[in-house]
Structures are given as C-alpha cells and as structure tokens.
Structure 1
Amino acid sequence: MTCSILVSAMKLCRFNAGRLGLMHGDVVFDVTPALDVLPAVRYPLPQCDLLIAHLSAVCAAVRQLLATAPRVALSSVSLLSPVANPPKIIGAPINYRAHIDESVKDAGIAHGRAVTSIHDWGLFLKSPSSLIGFGEEIVLRRPDRRNDHECELAVVIGKRCDRVPRAEALQYVAGYAIGLDMTLRGPEFQCWRKSVDTYSVLGPWLVTADEVPDPDALELSLHVNGELRQRSNTRQQVVDVAGLIEMASAMYALLPGDIIMTGTPAGVGPVKPGDVIHASVQGIGDASVTVGAHYA
C-alpha cells in the first residue's frame, strides 16, 4: 500500500471527536494534524466551513502526513458529517421525473399540493442544525406522521460564487457525498418539515471533485432493512448539478461548505424506529445509518 495509491483516492472523513481521516478501503488514516494549517479565527466568525474553504492546503498537508499516519479500522470509528459547519443546506424538490409521478399519485407525499416542476417550486433551505453523519442516529419525531427516507447525491461547494453561469458551475465544487434528506410528511413548508434535528445525513466521507468526473451519471440506491426501496441514476435529474448551482446562486451567494441535496428519485417511503438505512452512490461509496429505537 503506497502513498501514491492513497493520494489517488482522496476521501476525507471526520470521525470520533472531530478527528480528520483519509479513507482507503476499510482503513482510516488519522491525519488530524493536517488541521493545523487552518487559520485561527476570532469573532465575528467567517460564514463558511473552514476545512472546506482551505481544502487544498489541508489536502497538501494530508499528503505529507500519510507515510507516518496512524491507521485505524473503519469498523472501529464513528463517522461524523464530513462538513462540520455548513452555512446552508439547500434542497432540490421534485427533481426526478419518476418521483414527480409518485408524488402526484401518493396523497401522503403531496398533501394536496399541486406537484408541478422544480422550476415552479424553486429550492428550499434546511437548518444546518439538522446535520449528522452516518455514524450517528436519526431520531424520528411525530409518530402520528410519516417520516420518509430520501437518498440523494450531495454536492459540497468549495468556493464562494454568486450568479455563476451553468458552464462554470462545477468549478466551484469541493466534492461529493451521499445525502439523506429525511422528511416529515405534512402540509407545512418543506423548510420546516425537513429541518428536524438529525434529518440531514451526510457522508460517509467527502470525495474530492476530481474523483467524480461526471456527477450526472452516477447510480444511487437505498435499502431499508435489506429491502430495496430506491434505485436510479443522477442522469434522471430534471435539473443537473451545474444547473442547480446556477439556480441557487442566482438568488444567494454560495459559500464554502454549503451543501446542495440534489433531489431524490422514486421509491421514497416511511421508516420507523429501529430501521437500518443503507445508501449507496457510485463513485462515493455506501454506508448505513440507524434510526433510533425511540421517537424524540
């Protein structure tokens, strides 16, 4: 196992008490000292995730540390969200045609809303406090309502951009991860129902953008307790990744660490306490997250 092999697969994770790791197979290289390159900050704090804003410097430090970095088994660590402090979590509603079709047919999804187009609905924001990693637990609320899973490709913005044209949009991506946009069904606005604590799952690690040459051609799937619920390809998105960045930045500046959940395919459905959700996105990996045994 050589350093050159490791560097060619730059998958960065956060684990345990906020340590930084580089993934290779089922091994985590503890490269936490690479965080020393981050600048010291004072109040008022910058509106960004510091690691993502300085990702190039962190990656360079990681490469220097690999030869002597301690190794720990992936199975022995608890994975946190690879982005610690996202300024925004942005959602893309009804962004797969098949999901639009199922939303029209299933009153438990639409709740009387006219299901038209993402171009009519626009995007929505989720509270950053809803974010967890795959090593944590989803804690459901409102047992009187459906709590649904939604598997998505997540895009992490690496540089500030404002009103960026579609042709330049991917230049501002730091990397990609698996996203679960958990959803409390009901008639209220999405920003309220999807901002529940633990209802945004990101990880299991960040794959740097250079490792994903085409984010619009990735297979993704989701199983619940071993049962296949969702399977599709990001090429089925109504608005592709570059288009979503253009769409979002037309209304507000995107900042380092912003997360865009790009939308979910058909097959959304309810989960209950004790369920195990296993999600996979091609080029990123796969991971499981547990739904806590009790409602909050």
Structure 2
Amino acid sequence: MRICRFDDNRVGVVEGDEIVDVSAILDRLPPVKWPYPRGDAFIANLPDLMPEMRKIAADGRRLKLAEVKLLSPVAQPGKIVAAPVNYKLHLEEARADQGIHFGSHVKTIEECGVFLKATSSMIGPADPVVSDRSDRRTDHEIELCFVIGKKARHVREDNALDYVAGFMIGLDMTIRGPEERSYRKSRDTFTVFGPWLVTADEFGDPSAVDFELKIAGQTRQKANTRDLIFDCRKLIAYASEAYTLEPGDVFMTGTPEGVAPVEPGDILNCRIDGIGEMNVAVRAA
C-alpha cells in the first residue's frame, strides 16, 4: 500500500495518478491524554488500520495527485536517525573535496556512528527547501529512508526488517562548514520526506534498489543501495543498541557520491525504484 498525507493533514491511498481519501480512518485511532506517548500514533497502529483503509478506499472520494499538497508521510517522528558517509565513493569524494570536509578529517561510519536530525527540519515535497545562507555552500543529498513501525531495542540484523513499517524518499540538505552535522543538517526545511510511504510488504527487500537525483535533466547522483556500507538491517541493529526505537522514527540511510551545491530556482527531481519520484523546489529566504 502507498499511503500519503496531504492538504490539511488528510490521509490518502495512492493509486496511479490518483489519491483515494481515507481520512475517516483517523477516527479509529485510540484516544490519548497528556502526557502524550512518544512517536507517531498513526504509524504505531498502521497494521490494524490497513484492512479498514482498503475497505474505505474501495469507494472513497478520488482526487488527482497533481491537485493536492503532499506533506511528509510521517507526521510526528520521535527522532530522525541519519547515517553519515555510508557509501564508499561518497566517503572518498568527501575526503578529496575541501568544500565538503572544510579542513576536518572525514571519519568512516564505523568511527563516527549515526547522528540525529531535528524533527523541526522536516517538510514534505510540496514545500520548498529554503537556502538562506548565501555565504555557505548548500548541497543536495538523496537517500532511501525507512520508518520504524514498532518499539525496538537490541535488535538482531537477521530480523531487523520486521520492525520497518515502510519506505520513502528523503533529502538530507546540508550546509557545508566546520560545525557538527546535526547542526548543519537540521536547519528548517532541510529534511524532506515523500512523496508517500510504501509499506514494507509492498516495497520488499531494500538491499538492491536503484535511485537517482537530477536537476534540469542532468543526473547529479545515481546509485544502488547494494553499495551501502551499513545496510538497512545493520543500521537498525546498530542504532537500537543505543536508542529505543519507536513507531514513527525515521532512518536516513546515507547518500552516495555526486553531492553538489543547489541554487534558488533549482528543482530537485528525486526517484527511487519501488517508491516513485518527487520534485522539490529550492528558493531563497
């Protein structure tokens, strides 16, 4: 199933170039009181909601995808876990390019581990990335992302994918500079998720998936997830040793070689096999 969030926080099932509005399913979410539980309630209850969503979608109101505003498929991730330099060729380009490493030694993912991004940096594909530092280089980074579906701690690699609710495209926008990654990558609008969530049962094995980012028809990044240093399974096992993972937590698996600056006016065309594509605009402040 392909599930989107659109317009004024409505929920839809994507079928071809149409969305079937299944927002009535939100009435099935359990009531909560303050202090509210961490994580995303919709993702936490997704396995129970999906059969009813299929029933609603059978004769639900249909809208054209082109006529709605797509939001981030996940509304309330508790944390965004990101994998740095998780492709060998990107590690090599980062070490070779002064504009990327800014005079610091670029460590491997084994040396530096994962990092966290602020959830306030998250937008959907209909909103623009705001490039507001003309004195700094701002780069695009396309990544396969996945969403945790149930609480997890000390997960083994062999069953790690059992904890994944679904997959989506991500953009990890980055200002280059000497500061820590979490600071430079957590500016408002610097985390783009979309265009929808493809549930794990439909997406299948994430270990050999092609993806590409283009600007004005020119390929900037093109790779396959088989080249990940820490694959999806290993990332879950590694992170769950340190953190309790909760429904709605998002993993950004890392970007391949080809990172490059963006300018206001650019349109980032992002495609991942098994998910689809999204176009994200860049504008000035």
Q: Same fold (TM over 0.5)?
A: yes
Contact 1:48 1:255 in 2 (8 A): yes
Cα deviation code 1:59-85 (max 9, x no counterpart): 122111022200000000110000000
Aligned partner of 1:195 in structure 2 is 186
The reply on whether 1:145 has 2:117 as its aligned counterpart is: no
Output the amino acid matched with 1:63.
R
2:197 to 196, 199, 206: 206
Cα deviation code 1:36-64 (max 9, x no counterpart): 11111111011010110000122122111
Contact 1:37 1:61 in 2 (8 A): no
Aligned partner of 1:247 in structure 2 is 238
TM alignment of 1:22-33, pairs within 5 A = 22-33=13-24
Counterparts of 1:38 and 1:101 in 2: how far apart (Å)? 47
The reply on whether 1:162 has 2:164 as its aligned counterpart is: no
Count of aligned residue pairs for this structure pair = 285
Contact 1:177 1:203 in 2 (8 A): yes
Cα deviation code 1:237-266 (max 9, x no counterpart): 001100000111111111100000000000
Counterparts of 1:242 and 1:89 in 2: how far apart (Å)? 16
Q: Which moved more, 1:114-123 or 1:154-163?
A: 114-123
2:261 to 267, 270, 284: 270
Q: Which moved more, 1:149-158 or 1:35-44?
A: 35-44
- 1:212 CA drift (Å): 2.0
Output the amino acid matched with 1:129.
S
Aligned partner of 1:49 in structure 2 is 40
- 1:137 CA drift (Å): 1.1
Cα RMSD, aligned residues only = 0.8
- 1:272 CA drift (Å): 1.0
Aligned partner of 2:110 in structure 1 is 119
- 1:225 CA drift (Å): 2.2
Q: 4+ runs of 1 displaced by more than 6 Å? A: none
Alignment TM-score, normalising by the size of structure 2 = 0.98
SS for the counterpart of 1:205 is strand
2:64 to 66, 70, 73: 73
Instruction: Give 5+ residue unaligned stretches, structure 2.
Output: none
Output the amino acid matched with 2:142.
C
Alignment TM-score, normalising by the size of structure 1 = 0.95
Cα deviation code 1:4-58 (max 9, x no counterpart): xxxxxx0000000100000011001011101111111111011010110000122
TM alignment of 1:92-103, pairs within 5 A = 92-103=83-94
Counterparts of 1:14 and 1:116 in 2: how far apart (Å)? 37
Aligned partner of 1:108 in structure 2 is 99
SS for the counterpart of 1:215 is coil
Cα deviation code 1:215-251 (max 9, x no counterpart): 0110010011221100000000001100000111111
Instruction: Give 5+ residue unaligned stretches, structure 1.
Output: 1-9
SS for the counterpart of 1:48 is coil
- 1:141 CA drift (Å): 2.2
Output the amino acid matched with 2:112.
W
The reply on whether 1:218 has 2:218 as its aligned counterpart is: no
